[in-house]
């Protein structure tokens, strides 16, 4: 059994640092030498059959007696004040059971200086009123009967415009959303003076939309003074706490259930307005209410990846040694600040490379657009584009192979924390696996010749990320009388295969076949606390808790078997649901025989996740190589192949790790090439809040993807040795593609997505056609001489595409 000793260190800071949690008695750690039979092997998803047969119940599938359906009236203007609202005609419509607006809703605080239904609307899509009715059609009809008189106010939707002195104010205090976040070590200006070469460029990233296949939404039902929510969320306990706070309820009067979810990508970590609106409508109507967002609302009101503008300065010696890294970052947070200081774009610059002088400045900026929120590796995706493209430019400037430059500045210690990594070799191993599988060196020696208007090139990018886990987390393991096992935890499976991986951990520790184990999760009323499923942390957080609970239960079972078999427990082992005595080849008994012998007494194990190591830094790393083909006549960029290598500690299930890598890479390719929210700057309206005009990649767009897997157990991170993999594969993809495009055509695009119009505009100043011998006039087998970098468009454009 795992026993924890907890000492309070300080209050008011992050939960991980607030308490010192010491494991007094813990399970042995699975190191690289551990012989495992279930963990590390492919296994189909335990919930796979339920999903493909339609038995899995998502938030959309909840049907309760008397269920009402909700539609929300949203602001048609990017900034306005409600002068008057009249809902009487909607309320009188047959079949309408409840209506909420600023006229009758309780004044519940939301965001900063705002309310659940605010009379000041700050983006097109802001909530104005909500209707619950017998059917979706009646609810939609009722919305059209609500009369609203708006007073239009000045607005600003673009990041660069919001920073101008004469810009309309999103808030009275101005458009800068708080003090800049500054990190600094060493002396950056001195480092730049010492440099032989300085790269000083501006890179911008666009607004991207999550577009989860299952939009946000919930079903709310009251049982007396107890509220039950079936919510599509990444954090059932956070939703419970936030909803209870908003409605002034004790937490034990709010139950949140989430069994299956069709994607979240970070956008479903919090309680959004619709959850509280559904609860209030249900209370008003005395009937259960379902409020599921449609695609347009999903893309307007519940988050996006914030656009950024990053001025990056790199200083280096002629041999490539970095002397300074300086990043000045401006990022739009939308109309409201959600989740503290916003995405940590600065983080990508602070520890990946060995450099004594580093400074990052991050400034959040309000705009009259929907609020930004975490999106799969928030901040690091944007920051990696700036850093890794600038590093590629530096490699060209000092005439080094981009791979060699990265290896030359390799760090085995966390540059930010000043502590060694638990696996200092992991990024080097990722470089080796990725470049060997890709054939990086061979390609450099023998480059393909140009074919008419088409040029080929290759690019490389790397990343670091967390994935160490968010303690605390808890689990229970219970043996039933027939020898089957229930594993209970309060975590969420957000589509990543958590059910399967946690079941594998339990089966490995218990010595019980997986089919004899049932994993229960996603219900605040039935499981112990687990943190939000984000930051690639679920497996690294709850896996050790499940293993500790299983070890506790197994120890009790061995004691029971010892009495049953009259053999010391130290001579017994459990394998495939059977007891074996040391030195004897045949099974002495089965788990079922022992559990039936002690029934109705039940064996219950409890497990906890202790704190992360304090003397070392736990990080994950990865590298990707890309080959592209660029048509210089049409501007089309085709990714031909991509090789990814990512360290996630011990691989629990290779198939599911592959799935996460492929999914992250595909999302990264969309971010690099096609995905971009388009806003009409004149009217402040999003023009592509749908899946027709917002260009998510389809299967026809996906290139050959190879996962050069790294299986490097990290027992210092936690007793299972596993770390996170959900987010890292998205981080380096866009800069790798951009670097490959430059390698192909000699033109540097510093603004994504890399659309055809941007590429053609950048290519326009280059008129001489390439010689027939090779790309850009190079002879076969030689690298092309890079053409002068041409930046498309005025500086700072590209972070938010707008219609003039």
DSSP conformation letters of 269-294: SS--HHHHHHHHHHHHHTS-EEEE--
- CA nearest neighbour of 201 among 338, 114, 327: 327
Strand 485-489, strand 474-479: pairing: antiparallel
Q: Give dist(CA 74, CA 72) in Å, integer.
A: 6
Query: How many Cα atoms are found within 13 Å in the side-chain-facing hemisphere of 391?
Result: 34
Q: Give dist(CA 133, CA 618) in Å, integer.
A: 51
Helix axes 733-745, 756-763, angle to 10 degrees: 30
Handedness of CA 563, 564, 567, 570 (dihedral sign): negative
- CA nearest neighbour of 234 among 50, 472, 491: 491
* Bridge partners, residue 487, by sequence: 477, 519
- CA nearest neighbour of 21 among 32, 34, 9, 35: 9
Handedness of CA 573, 578, 581, 583 (dihedral sign): negative
> In this structure, are residues 627 and 739 in contact, taking their beta carbons and an 8 Å threshold?
no
Say whether 23 is catalytic.
no
List C-alpha distances in Å: 96 to 139, 221, 292. 7, 17, 17
Peptide bond into 158 cis (omega under 30): no
- CA nearest neighbour of 80 among 125, 127, 119: 119
Q: Give dist(CA 500, CA 179) in Å, integer.
A: 43
Within 218-330, residue ranges assigned H as helices are 236-247, 273-285, 295-301
* Longest alpha-carbon distance in the chain: 89
| Strands in 308-433 per DSSP E | 308-316, 322-334, 358-366, 413-414, 419-420
CB environment 429-440: b (16+ within 10 A), e (fewer): bbbbbbbebbbb
DSSP conformation letters of 442-457: HHHHSPPPPBTTEEEE
Handedness of CA 327, 331, 336, 342 (dihedral sign): negative
Q: Which is catalytic among the residues 393, 727, 776, 800?
A: 727
3-state secondary structure of 664: helix
Question: Which amino acids are annotated catalytic?
Answer: 727
């Amino acid at each position: 059994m795992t026993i924890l000793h907890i000492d309070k260190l300080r209050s008011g800071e992050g939960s991980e640092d607030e308490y010192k949690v010491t494991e007094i008695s813990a399970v042995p750690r699975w190191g690289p030498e551990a012989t495992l039979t279930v963990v590390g092997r492919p296994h189909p998803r335990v919930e796979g059959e339920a999903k493909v047969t339609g038995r899995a119940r998502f938030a959309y599938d909840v049907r309760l007696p008397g269920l009402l359906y909700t539609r929300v009236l949203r602001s048609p203007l990017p900034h306005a004040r409600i002068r008057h609202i009249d809902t009487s005609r909607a309320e009188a419509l047959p079949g309408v059971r409840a209506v909420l607006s600023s006229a009758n809703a309780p004044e519940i605080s939301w965001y900063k200086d705002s309310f659940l239904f605010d009379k000041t609307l700050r983006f097109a899509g802001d909530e104005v009123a909500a209707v619950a009715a017998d059917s979706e059609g009646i609810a939609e009809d009722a919305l059209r009967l609500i009369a609203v008189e708006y007073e239009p106010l000045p607005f600003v939707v673009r990041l660069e415009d919001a920073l101008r002195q004469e810009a309309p104010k999103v808030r009275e205090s101005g458009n800068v959303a708080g003090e800049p976040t500054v990190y600094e070590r060493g002396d950056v200006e001195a480092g730049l003076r010492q440099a032989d070469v300085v790269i000083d460029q501006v890179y911008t990233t666009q607004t991207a939309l999550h577009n989860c296949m299952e939009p946000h939404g919930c079903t709310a039902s009251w049982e007396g003074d107890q509220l039950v929510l079936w919510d599509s969320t990444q954090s059932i306990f956070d939703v419970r706490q936030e909803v209870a706070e908003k409605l002034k309820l004790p937490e034990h009067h709010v139950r949140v259930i989430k069994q299956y979810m069709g994607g979240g990508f970070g956008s479903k970590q919090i309680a959004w307005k619709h959850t509280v609106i559904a609860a209030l409508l249900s209370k008003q109507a005395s009937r259960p209410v379902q409020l599921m967002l449609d695609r347009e609302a999903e893309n307007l009101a519940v988050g996006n990846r914030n656009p950024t503008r990053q001025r990056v300065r790199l200083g280096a010696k002629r041999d490539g040694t970095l002397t300074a890294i300086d990043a000045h970052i401006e990022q739009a947070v939308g109309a409201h600040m959600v989740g503290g200081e916003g995405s940590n774009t600065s983080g990508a610059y602070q520890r990946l490379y060995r450099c004594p002088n580093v400074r990052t400045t991050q400034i959040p900026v309000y705009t009259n657009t929907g609020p930004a929120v975490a999106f799969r590796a928030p901040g690091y995706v944007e920051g990696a584009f700036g850093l890794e493209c600038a590093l590629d430019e530096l490699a060209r400037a000092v005439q080094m192979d981009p791979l060699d430059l990265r290896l030359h500045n390799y760090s085995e210690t966390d540059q930010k924390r000043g502590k060694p990594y638990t696996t200092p070799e992991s990024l080097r191993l990722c470089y080796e696996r990725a470049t060997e599988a890709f054939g990086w060196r061979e390609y450099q020696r023998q480059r393909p010749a140009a074919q008419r208007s088409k040029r080929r090139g290759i690019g490389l990018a790397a990343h670091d990320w967390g994935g160490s886990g968010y303690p605390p987390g808890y689990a229970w393991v219970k043996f039933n009388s027939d020898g089957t096992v229930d594993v209970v935890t309060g975590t969420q499976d957000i589509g990543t295969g958590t059910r399967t991986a946690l079941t594998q951990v339990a089966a490995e520790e218990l010595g019980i076949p997986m089919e004899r184990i049932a994993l229960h999760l996603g219900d605040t009323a039935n499981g112990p606390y687990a943190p939000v499923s984000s930051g690639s942390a679920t497996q690294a957080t709850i896996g050790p808790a499940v293993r500790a609970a299983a070890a506790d239960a197994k120890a009790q079972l061995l004691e029971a078997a010892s009495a049953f078999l009259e053999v010391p427990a130290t001579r017994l082992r459990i394998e495939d649901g059977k007891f074996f005595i040391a030195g004897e080849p045949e099974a002495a008994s089965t788990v079922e025989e022992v559990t039936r012998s002690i029934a109705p007494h039940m064996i219950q194990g409890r497990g906890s996740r202790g704190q992360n190591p304090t003397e070392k830094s736990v990080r994950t790393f990865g590298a990707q190589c890309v080959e592209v083909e660029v048509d210089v006549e049409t501007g089309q960029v085709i990714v031909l192949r991509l090789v990814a290598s990512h360290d996630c500690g011990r691989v629990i299930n290779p198939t599911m790790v592959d799935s996460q890598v492929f999914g992250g890479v595909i999302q990264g390719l969309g971010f690099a090439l096609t995905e971009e929210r388009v806003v009409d700057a004149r009217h402040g309206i999003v023009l592509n809040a749908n899946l027709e005009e917002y260009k998510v990649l389809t299967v026809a767009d996906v290139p050959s993807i190879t996962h050069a897997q790294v299986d490097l157990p990290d027992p210092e991170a936690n007793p299972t040795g596993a770390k996170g993999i959900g987010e890292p594969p998205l981080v380096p993809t866009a800069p790798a593609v951009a670097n490959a495009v430059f390698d192909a055509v000699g033109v540097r695009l510093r603004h994504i997505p890399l659309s055809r119009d941007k590429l053609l505009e950048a290519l326009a100043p280059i008129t001489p056609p390439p010689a027939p011998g090779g790309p850009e006039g190079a002879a076969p087998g030689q690298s092309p001489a890079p053409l002068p970098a041409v930046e498309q468009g005025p500086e700072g454009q590209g972070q938010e595409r707008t219609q003039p």
